[in-house]
Amino acid sequence: MIVMCGIGIDLVDLKQFKRYLHQSSYFKSRLFSPAEYLLTDNQLAGSYATKEALFKASSIKFEYSKCSVLRDKNGKPFVLLNNDITTYENLNIFVSITNNDKYAIAVVLLESKLVL
């Protein structure tokens, strides 16, 4: 049986995010994987919001730079995890990201196989 095991949401102020992003390369290296470096600033804000929402949904601490939030050829976001986070069996992660000129917001829904 598949059950919902977590939901998370996060909102990022784009102006503040871009200021931090461009102040230091250390900030970028701590939050993003090398695969994410090709994303635009707005996409990075959405990726950051997704990682925050994923933490809220799972309550599992993880290194943000070892988790990638990428987009498929149609622009749909997806998450690539390292082994630190995959403690749920058969974890499905559903992501929705949107933004306007001021904010980026992400919602994460986790589903997992219920072992009886």
Can you give the pLDDT at residue 84? 57
Q: pLDDT per position in the chain (116 positions), as tens?
A: 778 889 999 999 999 999 999 998 888 999 999 999 999 999 999 999 999 999 999 888 889 999 999 999 999 999 998 765 555 567 889 999 999 999 999 999 999 876 66
Can you give the pLDDT at residue 109? 96
Owning domain of residue 97: 2-113
The percent of the chain in helix, strand and coil, each rounded to the nearest 5, is 35, 35, 30
Query: Domain of 40: which CATH number?
Result: 3.90.470.20
Can you give the pLDDT at residue 98? 97
Overall number of domains in the chain: 1
Q: Distance (Å, rounded) from C-alpha 112 to C-alpha 68?
A: 20
Quote the pTM value: 0.90
Can you give the pLDDT at residue 89? 62
